[in-house]
Amino acid sequence: MGNKNRSNFGSRVGIILASAGSAVGLGNIWRFPFEAGNHGGATFIIVYIICILLLGLPVMIAEFIIGRSALANTARAFQKLAPRTAWKWVGRIAVLTGCLILGYYAVVAGWTLEYTMQAVLNNFDGKQSEHFIQSFNTFSTNSWRPIIWLFVFLLGTHFIIVKGVEKGIERASKILMPALFILLVALVICSVSLPGSEKGVEFLLKPNLSKVNGNLILAAMGQAFFSLSLGMGCLCTYASYFGAKTNLTQTALSVGVIDTFVAILAGLMIFPAAFAVGIQPDAGPSLIFITLPNVFQQAFGSYPIIAYISSLLFYVLLALAALTSTISLHEVVTAYLHEEFNFSRGKAAKVVTFVCLTIGLFSSLSLGALKNITLGGLNLFEGLDFLTAKIMLPLVGMFTAIFVGWYLDKKISWSQLTNNNSIKAPLFKVVLFLLKFVAPLGIALIFIHELGLLNI
């Protein structure tokens, strides 16, 4: 496909919101709280922020440089910038990772639809926390319901992808992101004003640095890559739709700040409420589906109409935040098939939807009917999450850093960050240093440590 007729985002705000729309999703509101809850709250958050600054942001800038200079899908981008080398495999693995993530991510996205429907039907009304625990377990282990919602969710994603970049992705993100933000702030206020919520605030804000260990660092690094949508070519693909005037460093900083802010807001929304109603912070993937409906009931018990509206709004917005992320995951693989195999966009999208539906089907069943099939103690759903977030994303991220830090001609990076010498890039040297040394060594050390080869 020629670059001239490549589609583009229409505006600067659109670019930031679409990239932030990819970054902000279930990773912030569903995954971040349960990872933080499993690893001690505040301590995890500090290590997480360090990972964002030293590993995440530089790798995001590297993906932007690769995408906008190559103007192609991720696999082709590496191939174009490093012809006849093995670098293309980094791009290909990135695309594969996208497909695997979409497979289980869409399952959780489907859960948000079930909860939206429960909210519409006012089924949370008057219930206690035991009910929420029980109904989540019954629903998520059911063989049919989650799969129907998975199907609906993937169809919605499919529809927007087929509409294309500007009309579909950009327009959706411009409305959804600000709405989500406002609602989150309102919910944080409700959550911290519940009686007994102080312990949750303390859990989030009082670190205990003696708790830092290899497991926590691996989890924080994985979460940083997952949450920023890095290491699977997503932001690289989006950057290929950026305009020539987009300031890459500023865009990366904006996305990083928005994403981290939303994650912390989500933590502030969930933990005070969880402590207030006596739910353990390490409840795992079920955390938001159990805690949140409870908050609405407890906080607004005497104003049922407010409880109704806020729970409905929350799940609708959560579904929409997930949608802007599934769109970006889907787009990576669709762009790849479209450009590499000459499939029409429609046909490429159909293949992706079908493959992800199949993966999703098995990962959903692995929580119920197929839960006895495990590998290393993990079922398929947990295994996909572990393999992609904790291994593949950081690994592709590490190679992306090495690629831009060591392989790619510095002139290309300079002209990308300065838009051909038309804007300043005061952070150029810092970014390059982080990409050359800090990110690759940092990621490698965390891996080596986790494999048990290094004991610190």
Closer Cβ to ligand PHE, 252 or 432, answer by number: 252
H helices of 121-144, in order, are 129-140
The β-bridge partners of 375 are: 378
Of 23, 220, 221, 404, which one interacts with ligand PHE (CB under 6 A)? Answer: 23
CA–CA dist 390, 342 (Å, integer): 33
Q: Which is nearer to ligand PHE, 226 or 314 (CB)?
A: 226
Place of tokens 């035991």: 130
Gap between the Cα atoms of 58 and 331, Å rounded: 23
Q: To which residue do tokens 């992609």 refer?
A: 388
Please check whether residue 413 is in contact with residue 425, taking contact to mean a CB–CB distance below 8 angstroms: no
- Only one of the segments 3-11, 17-25, 274-282, 369-377 lies at the binding site for ligand PHE (rule: CB under 6 A); that segment is 17-25
Task: In angstroms, give the least distance from the CB of 320 to ligand PHE.
Answer: 12
Shortest reach from residue 235's CB to ligand PHE, in Å: 8
Q: Is 26 among the residues that bind ligand PHE (CB under 6 A)?
A: yes
DSSP 51: H
Q: Find all residues with CB under 8 Å of 397, minimum gap 6, and list them.
A: 55, 59, 225, 230, 231, 439, 443
The DSSP secondary-structure symbol of 241 reads T
Among all residues, whose Cβ is closest to ligand PHE?
A: 27
Q: Closer CB to ligand PHE, residue 99 or residue 268?
A: 99
Residue 439 as a binder of ligand PHE (CB under 6 A): the answer is no
Q: C-beta of 43: minimal distance to ligand PHE in Å?
A: 21
Q: What whole-number distance in Å separates Cα of residue 143 and Cα of residue 151? A: 13
d(CA 111, CA 433): 42
Q: Could you say whether residue 25 binds ligand PHE (CB under 6 A)? A: yes
The piece of 13-21, 24-32, 175-183, 282-290 that touches ligand PHE (CB under 6 A) is: 24-32
> What residues from 314 to 343 belong to the interface with ligand PHE (CB under 6 A)?
325, 328-329
> Does 161 participate in binding ligand PHE (rule CB under 6 A)?
no
Q: By CB under 6 A, name the one of 75, 161, 180, 234 that touches ligand PHE.
A: 234
Distance of CA 181 to the CA centre of its chain: 16
- Which of 288/307 has CB closer to ligand PHE? 288
Euclidean distance between CA atoms 68 and 77, whole angstroms: 9
Least separation in angstroms between residue 24's CB and ligand PHE is 6
Q: How far apart are the C-alpha atoms of 195 and 273, rounded to whole Å? A: 9
Residues in the interface with ligand PHE (CB under 6 A) total: 15
Q: Which is nearer to ligand PHE, 28 or 353 (CB)?
A: 28
Minimum separation from the CB atom of position 49 to ligand PHE (A) = 16
Q: Which of 232, 279, 327, 367 binds ligand PHE (CB under 6 A)?
A: 232
Given the complex with ligand PHE, which of 329 and 348 has the nearer CB atom? Answer: 329
Find the binding residues for ligand PHE in span 56-75 (CB under 6 A).
Answer: none
Q: Does 149 bind ligand PHE (CB under 6 A)?
A: no
Longest dimension (CA), the chain: 68
14, 19, 20, 27: residue in contact with ligand PHE (rule CB under 6 A): 27
Query: Interface mask (CB under 6 A) for ligand PHE, residues 92-111, using x and -?
Result: ---------x----------
CA atoms within 13 A on the CB side of 404: 33
Beta bridge partners of 72: none
Minimal distance in Å, beta carbon 325 to ligand PHE? 4
- Residue 87 tokens, joined: 């670098």
State in Å, rounded, how far the first CA of the chain is from the last one: 50
Q: Residue 305 Cβ, how far from ligand PHE at the closest point, in Å?
A: 31
Would you say 26 or 337 has its CB closer to ligand PHE?
A: 26
Structure token pair of residue 351? 């293949």
Question: Do the Cβ atoms of 42 and 296 come closer than 8 Å?
Answer: no
Beta bridge partners of 378: 375
Hey, what amino acid is at 36?
A
Instruction: Write out the binding residues for ligand PHE, residues 199-228 only, by CB under 6 A.
Output: 226-227
Binding site for ligand PHE (CB under 6 A): 22-23, 25-28, 101, 226-227, 229, 232, 234, 325, 328-329
